[in-house]
Each structure stands twice: as C-alpha cells, then as structure tokens.
Amino acid sequence: MKRPNTDDYRRLFIEDLPLMDVRAPVEFNKGAFPQSVNIPLLDDEQRAAVGTRYKEQGQDAAIELGWQLATPEIKAQRQRDWLAHASQHPTGYLYCFRGGLRSRLSQQLLREAGLDYPLVTGGYKALRRFLIDALEANSQTAPLVLVSGRTGSGKTLLLPKLPRTLDLEAMANHRGSAFGRQLAPQPTQIDFENRLSIGLLKAMHQSASAPLFVEDEGKLIGRVSMPICFKTRMENSPLAVLETPMDERVEIALADYVTEAFPQYLAHFPDSRGDAEQAFRKQILDNLSRIRKRLGGEKYQFLSTQFEQALTRFFATGVADDFRPGIELLLTEYYDPMYDFQKGLRKGREIFRGDKAAYIEWAASLETFPS
C-alpha cells in the first residue's frame, strides 16, 4: 500500500526512521540528521544554477532548467540510487529543504521508476525547527545528574555502567580536554545540536523522571558549543563526584591519549607507519602548545621535551612509561587547579561522592530524580 507523506517529526526521530536527503551536498554538509543519507537531486553546481534562475526568472523557469540539467544519464543514475536506498529502507522518507519542489520532483522520478516513496512535509527546515523547539522544552525539565570529577578520573569509562546516560563527548567526537581532539573531525555545530536534541528526546520519551546521567562539561567540547538552554540546565543540576586515586588517573589518561589513541593513527595510515607517527606526534605537541600560556614557559618547556622523548621511545619500543611524569604534572598543576576553582562555585549541589564501585551501586539505587 502507498504510504502517506508525514509531519510526525517526533516519530521519525524516536524510531530512527531512515531519511533520504535529496538536498545538494553543500547543504547536507552544513547540517543533517544521524539517520539521514545524502542522495541529492542536484549537485552543488546544478543547485546554484537553478537557484539563480529561480531568483531571476521565477519557479517555472527554474523547473525548466532543472529538467534540462537532468540528462537521461543523470536521471537514470538518480533513479537507480534512490531505488536502491528505498529497497533497503522501505519504512523511510525523503526530504529536501522545505519539502517542496525538489522533494516533489524526486517523488515524480521515483514514480516513473515504479515506486511511490513518501516525503517529510516541511522538509529539513521543519525537522530542524522541531529539534530546536524540543531541545528548548526538554532542557527545562530534564532530570540531569552530572557525572563530575577530576580530569583522568574515568568519567567517560563510568558512563556505560550507569542506568541512563547521554554521552555528550561521543556526540561531539571529542574527549573534552585540551588533549581530547580525535582523529576524525568533529560534527558541525548544527549536527551536534541535532544529535543532542534527539538523544534528549528519546530519553524523555522513555522516562521524564528517572535520573539521566551526563558528564560534567564546560561551554565548549572541542570546537562545538553547548546549547545555552541545555548548559543552563546543567548549571542547575546536582553533581555526583567520582573519586579516583592519582596513580589510576595517570593510567587512565595514558590509555586515553596515548596507548589506545595511537592504534587509531596506525589504522588511518595503513600504508605508512611513519606518517602515523608524524601525525600522532603533531597531535600531542600541538595540544600541549595550545595551553602554553596557562602552563608558563618553564613547565611548558619541560613537558615539551619530556613528551618528545616519550614519543621517541614509544614509537621505537611500544613502551609508554616515559609519559607518566608529564601526565601527572599536567593533572596536578594544570587540570586540578581549574577543577578546584570550579568546585568553589558549585557549593551545595553535590549529592554523592565515591569511588567507581560505590558510584555504580548508588546510581543503580537512584530510581527517581533527586529533589
């Protein structure tokens, strides 16, 4: 049976229904949705030409140009790509920017190929508006509990062991600290906001009262910024603090940023270990350089030399022991003072403090949001 077009945006995101984005790549790359795939009606140049014709001569002239650009070869290729996607995702929908001309043309081409495939009414613009409004509304009442603790305490490792969570760093593809940049690029600001809104929408749909654990973050996670409405909610939410001894913090940081990070570079440069080593060395030393002023010249120079030597030994032998003194120095004299300063601004919000085992047990017993 023919499925109707939809404006049930909530269902689209709650159920992760597949979305086929027929906008041009340049539009898709600025912002899209986690479950969407870009199979454009027009490429970037064609879109620009049709847009210019629309502004200068109106819709009919723009449609005429669009059909001129759709040569038999291009038309056949579009139909093949769309049919392949539709056959793999029979419950999905297609959309363009406003759910208008390009969506209808795509539907027409699909019908000519023998398939009725529904569209999202209002297109990307309506979906984006829905997520912005949902983020604003859900941020007002989200039962957040902040997973707090010093850098290297293992907050990210703790999250999967807690009952209900939103992993903000995974959404931002960044570990949150000066050394947290990942090999893969971060999402655009729009994509990050969309991911956050969808994650919060699903959590609130599941339960509006059960505690939702999120890692305590600042205004920025790498280069993406926390939406003001959600950050405001975080700043008024209770804190549960994870306590971890210094020796364990050093080991966690060493694994996060060295021993478990370098294999990603080897996988990214499978044909050249030298390129992987060069890129990883640059990553470590560039991150250190970014906090040079905060460290001061003497500490920066010591750490730069120490990490250079540690990298050389690590690449030659696989032994990462030489990183430990520098990591401990960063934790005690860079990260901890910042944490202590912030701690002084958060008096009265702490509802729990304990080690990993105690934290997991306490979180499991917390059935309702603490008042």
Active-site annotation, residues = 96
Residue 192: partners with Cβ closer than 8 Å, 6 or more residues away: 171, 172, 186, 224
Query: What gap in Å lies between CA 305 and CA 227, rounded to an integer?
Result: 38
Q: At what angle do helices 59-69 and 44-57 cross, to 10 degrees?
A: 150
> Rounded to the nearest 5 degrees, what angle is found at the Cα of 346, between the Cα atoms of 196 and 333?
90
> Given the DSSP bridges, would you call strands 220-221 and 224-225 parallel, antiparallel or unpaired?
antiparallel
Phi, psi of 239 (to 5 degrees): -110, 135
| Strand partners for 144 | 212
Burial class (CB in 10 A: 0-12, 13-18, 19+), 248: middle
Q: Which of 365, 355, 359, 357 is nearest to 211 (CA)?
A: 365
